Amino acid sequence: MPVRQRETPFGLPRPETPHGEIVILEERCKGCGFCIEYCPHGVLITAKKYNAKGYHPPEIVKAELCVDCGYTYEPPKAGEKP
Amino acid sequence: MKADPKGVLTGSHYIDGDFACCEGALAAGCRFIAGYPITPSTEVVERFARRAPLVDGALFIQMEDELAASITLQGAVWAGKKAMTVTSGPGFSLMMEHIGLAAMTETPCVFVDVQRGGPSTGLPTLPSQADMMQARWGSHGDYEIIALSPNSPQETFDLTIEAFNLSEQYRVPVMFMMDECVGHMMERVVIPTADKIEITPRRFTKLPPGEYLPFKPGEDLVPDMFKAGDGYRLHVTGLTHDYRGYPAMTPEVQEQLVHRLVNKIRLNAPKIWRYEETGVEDADVVIVTYGITSRVAGEAIDIARKKGIKVGMLRLIVVWPFPEQRIFELASQGKAIVVAEMNYGQVFYEADRSARGKAPVVLAGHGGGTVHNIEDIVKKIEEAHKCRS
Amino acid sequence: MSILKELQKASLSPTAGLTGPDKHPMDDFLRMDRMPHIWCSTCGIGVSVNCFAKALEKLGTPLDDVVVVSGIGCTGRVAGYVKVDSFHTTHGRAIPFATGMKLANPKLKVIVFSGDGDIIAIGGNHFINAARRNIDITVICLNNFNYAMTGGQVAATTPEGAILSTSPYGNFETPFNLPFLAESVGAVYVARWTSLHVYNQTNSMVEAMKKPGFSFIEIVAPCPTIFERQQKMGDGLDRLRWYCENSEIQTDPKTKDANIGLRDKMIVGKFVDIERPTYLDAMNAHYQERLGPKYKVYEG
């Protein structure tokens, strides 16, 4: 039986999923494609445009799905300065 | 700055040249030797291995080969210590790449070469003076070094301190060219108290991180130094680099850097030259010599003077940079020059070049294995005297 | 203005023409005035430098006490891009330089970051002796199976059958098994990861740097411009996918099984994690025993 999102075990509040704000430094991209390949939620795709060095930087297509997994950059622990 | 008394073995000792070299290094503040055993220099490191645990802050490590020894000491220098390595002919050949690295990165350090018969394995237990040109030109590329040559254990002690002082002052690797005879002969060595020994401290920069440029030269063409761990966060490389130490491989930077490395010694040469002259003022023939050969030449001079030839001696203490100006002066005064050295002609070519044809220059050389026969030197003196007239 | 001039103007600064803020959190660790770096797109070295920066952050050692020493080669260029006291020494001799530095000032944290040819071929003698002595340094060896900087020559780690410029008919020599070699000469910490395993790499680096003694991490990295291209294995991303399929993380792997074949599965993980007194600890203990109160403990 599918679990509906409203119902949670023991009546506890729904756990919060982390969310990340993605910043792409396009001019530094080397077009390796690792971030696009290994994003667990397919947030990025290869852009059609080029940066100054001729590489295709990534482009954000599903920003709301980013869960701050840390593959692209691991955030500091809570309480530390970013 | 005065020497640190912990390293100074004050007193009158009966030791050989190798031991005197080790004591000189300790007196000069050397606290790190990375060595590899090779006859006839092994005694220097044997002595240091025995002394180091009892001198605060001194450490000896026997590395796996001369290649490792010659670069381990540079790591120690960049961590802030004065360091030295000791070798002989075959090991000296192995160290050449790292002598070049020391010259390029301007690392102050001392390389002791106790010369033995060569080439290749040669005569391990017998002397020669056949590495003199190698000390100057051994590594690839354009660079300049300073080379010293003592002729007695006492002078070995004094000149080792001088070698460290020169290396710190000019930020250059200094070649300490002994020979097996001076290394293994035992004579009286008087070591004074620490407050009578002058040592040159490392010229650490006074500028804070951010302002200091590691390869920007001062007025004497020598930059100030830093050490790892002080917060400077700088990069040192053997590639051609700019003032910041960053690789910049262009002809302009090559000109700026390498020309300065060469000029550092060439333009400061008059301050570095050191030689000892005896009986040169009225001489018709001057023997130019260094190391153990100078002691044999002294005898030859007495014999020649008795025969009526006025001979003097110019003993090189600093062999590189070569005192070409003085040789030219002597040659211009019409004095013939005999170069007595234990090889088939090395410093001879320098003297010949420096004389610029003003006077005959004759080589009194032989292949090593033993010191010169006095009669051979006397014969050469007579030959030079004849050439002159 | 022509397109070329616009592109040139845009590429003058590494932070030109951005769509967001122009600073990356890792910028304090890198020599930003030397960016962009020389490494190729999809090369594994940049990934490892990233992991190294992360590892240093996790380790917490003040960066003023960290020294990076490297040799010659593509991986050897790492020293030039990290903003710590860094030394770019001669080919194969990073380890003895690091030895001298660590012994002269034991407070420094010295890391050797160099390539496979540099560390184990020309530098092989120094590697085995430093491991034997258990000098307290961390050696990160980036293994891309060839001498990349000089154009792709066969190396001591090249798998059998690989085609490279000095083995144009395929390599017939048996390569080194680096974890096996490191364990046999006494390294106290031996691990192997690939460029795919970024979190494992970072954690391994932290463990290795924390551990006193000679720690060795081999990182199998793609070399898209040379090794992968010559073997027709695609680019770095294809190679990472290949690592995903063909590398097996074992929890207690044995080094003698850690050989790497050209198209075989490879074992990654932490091979060795033992305790042994470091060179300086052994030296101090020994001299205290032999010389008694005359000996003052060496602290640098």
The pLDDT score that the predictor gives to residue A7 is 61
pLDDT above 70 for B375:
yes
User: Does the predicted model carry a pTM greater than 0.90?
Assistant: yes
Out of B174, B196, B218, pick the residue that ends a domain. Answer: B196
With CB atoms and an 8 Å threshold, state whether B76 touches C31.
no
Interface with C, mutate which of B4, B6, B72 (most C CBs under 10 A): B72
Confidence band for C37, pLDDT divided at 50, 70 and 90: confident
Q: Which residue of C18, C41, C43 is in closest CB contact with A25?
A: C18
- Tell me if A11 is assigned to some domain: no
Pull the structure tokens for residue B155. 């002078």
Chain A hits for C15, CB-CB cut-off 8 Å, are 25, 27-28
Q: Are residues B149 and B298 in the same domain?
A: no
Please give the Cα distance from B348 to B342 (Å, whole number): 11
Residues B180 and B306 in one domain: no
B251 assigned to some structural domain: no
Task: Evaluate whether residue B72 is within a structural domain.
Answer: yes
Looking at the structure of chain B, the number of domains it has is 2
Q: Are residues B287 and B382 in the same domain?
A: yes
Q: pLDDT, tens digit, for every residue of C224-276?
A: 999 999 999 988 889 999 999 999 999 999 999 999 999 999 999 999 999 99
Residues from chain C that touch B59, judged by Cβ atoms under 8 A, are: 103-104, 298
* Residue B72's CATH number: 3.40.50.970
In this complex, which chains have at least 3 CB pairs below 8 Å with chain A?
Answer: C
* pLDDT greater than 50 at residue C13: no
Q: What's the CA dihedral at B194, B195, B198, B202 to 10 degrees?
A: 80
Judge if B14 and B160 occupy the same domain. yes
Helix (H) or strand (E) holding A60: strand A58-60
Q: Structural domain boundaries of chain C? A: 24-275
B182-238: pLDDT as tens digits: 999 999 999 999 999 999 999 999 999 989 999 999 999 999 999 999 999 999 999
Q: Do A27 and C18 touch (CB under 8 A)?
A: yes
Q: In this complex, is the C-beta atom of C285 within 8 Å of any C-beta atom belonging to chain B?
A: no
pLDDT digits (tens, 9 = 90+) for B73-130: 999 999 999 999 999 999 999 999 999 999 999 999 999 999 999 899 999 999 999 9
Our CA-based measurement puts residue A16 at a distance from the nearest CA of chain C, in whole angstroms, of 23
Task: Say which residues have a Cβ less than 8 Å from residue A39's Cβ, sequence separation at least 6.
Answer: A69, A71, A72
Range of the domain at B279: 274-388
Of B196, B227, B259, which residue constitutes the final position of a domain? B196
Residues B278 and B374 in one domain: yes
Examine the pLDDT at C158 and tell me if it is beyond 60: yes
Q: In this complex, do C41 and A32 lie within 8 Å of one another by their Cβ atoms?
A: yes
Q: What percent of chain C has pLDDT over 70?
A: 93
| Residue A44 lies inside a defined structural domain of this protein | yes
- Spell out which residues of chain B touch residue C121, defining contact as CB-CB under 8 Å: none
- Tell whether A62 is covered by a domain: yes
Does the structure show a pLDDT above 90 at A67? no
**C20 falls in which pLDDT band (50, 70, 90)?**
very low
Mean model confidence pLDDT for chain B: 95
Query: How does residue C24 score in pLDDT terms, banded at 50, 70 and 90?
Result: confident
Chain C residues touching chain A at CB-CB below 8 Å: 7, 10-11, 14-22, 24-26, 35-36, 39-43, 46-47, 54, 198, 236-237, 240-241
pLDDT at A78: 45
- Per CATH, which fold does C24-275 belong to? Rossmann fold (3.40.50)
Domain that holds residue A45: 28-71
**Residue A81: its pLDDT value, please?**
34
Q: Is the CB of B75 less than 8 angstroms away from the CB of C83? A: no
Q: Quick one: pLDDT at residue A79?
A: 37
Question: Domains in chain A: how many in total?
Answer: 1
B287 pLDDT above the threshold of 70: yes
pLDDT band of residue A74 (cuts 50, 70, 90) is low
Q: Which of B196, B229, B260 is the last residue of a domain?
A: B196
What is d(CA B256, CA B254) in angstroms, rounded to the nearest whole number? 5
pLDDT of A1-25, one tens digit each?
455 555 667 777 777 888 888 888 8
Which residue of B lies nearest to C96 if distances are taken between CA atoms?
A: B72
Mutation for A interface: C3, C32, C237, C243, most A CBs within 10 A:
C237
